[in-house]
Amino acid sequence: MNISDDVLCVFSAQIEAQNGSYRINIPEHELTLGDLEPGSSYRVAILSTDSAQTTATEARRPTQDRTASEPPVEVGDQRTVDIEDIGEQGDGIARVDRGYVVVVPETELNERVTIEITRVTETVAFGEVLEREEYYQ
């Protein structure tokens, strides 16, 4: 997936019903640390959780050509990811290109981390935390 350099922020959120309409909450850190301003108008794109879930940093990162059937990561790749879920064993779960799952131990829900891929299988990869984003701690 290509994401334009014009993208100001990327985050995951749920659509919530509210008084006959629907709302998406923007995380506070996107306003305090990013280029968004309260009261301003923006265009919004909504991607299914089945779509590739990629941060803007990942999307701008050059990637090798890989077919859709190959894992979108390789051992040694570094990615900045958002921990979207916690698995049954307590490990963080992130999704990258095409919804491919990366398990990241010792992380918390909604934490943003830079990881290095340490193991890759056909259906899941494992990563080790290299750096944590301060505003997620």
Distance CA 113, CA 132 (A): 4
Give tens-digit pLDDT for 3-53. 566 677 777 777 888 888 988 888 777 777 677 788 888 888 777 665 444
Identify residue 128 by its one-letter amino acid code: E
- Lowest mean pLDDT across 15-19, 59-63, 111-115: 59-63
User: What does the domain layout of the chain look like in residue ranges?
Assistant: 64-136
Residue 15 backbone dihedrals phi, psi, to 5 degrees: -85, 125
CB of 84 within 8 A of CB of 104?
Answer: no
Q: What is the pTM of this model?
A: 0.52
Q: Where are the beta strands (DSSP E) in the chain?
A: 16-18, 21-23, 78-82, 85-86, 92-95, 101-104, 112-120, 124-132
CA-to-CA dists, residue 29 to 4, 45, 102, angstroms: 21, 19, 24
Q: Which CATH architecture has domain 64-136?
A: Beta Barrel (2.40)
Q: How many CB atoms lie within 10 A of CB 124?
A: 13
Q: What is the pLDDT of residues 77-87, one digit of tens each?
A: 999 999 999 98
